[in-house]
Structure 1
């Protein structure tokens, strides 16, 4: 179990924006949904492929489907730190959680 399991998609989206060093702010939509804005664009990497895929590709996060009980697996291999694996039912959330754990590991190393 990782520390991101209990967070909402909104909270994960916000943390991803922070780790990317983006200038962001929070607003609400007409449906009273909290969203993270980066510039004038809604940033939802937990649910939007156009936000998530550049992060997945740039960070070499591998994705695979495990089964209907587990869902998706996100994996990243680093020669120094070994392999990181994360599982979740939501494809993009799985990848973003993997990204956040990777960034946490980088910060611990510093």
Structure 2
């Protein structure tokens, strides 16, 4: 079993691999809260006897929102792996922004 470096966690910082950047964390949480609200709405629609087509449309929207959160997590992972502890240079950051946009648009 690989040894886990706990020095950052002990120092009060998020360990590598976690959503250490505040903006990325906020973005993913915002997306997940949106999915949560959509799923509550779908459950309410089913409980109230709504038709299958409107329920299916809302499920599709929730799935797309969950996909968007997953794509953001994918970009977050790439950012963390490419940063080398020193942050990303502007060119790499821009390329990752484009990847995130492409995933969101075509993924």
Same fold (TM over 0.5): no
Q: In terms of Rg, which structure is larger?
A: 2
Q: Which structure carries more helix by proportion?
A: 2
TM-score scaled by structure 2? 0.22
Q: Which structure carries more strand by proportion?
A: 1
TM-score scaled by structure 1? 0.22
Report 1 or 2 for greater relative contact order, CA contacts < 8 Å, sequence distance ≥ 6: 2
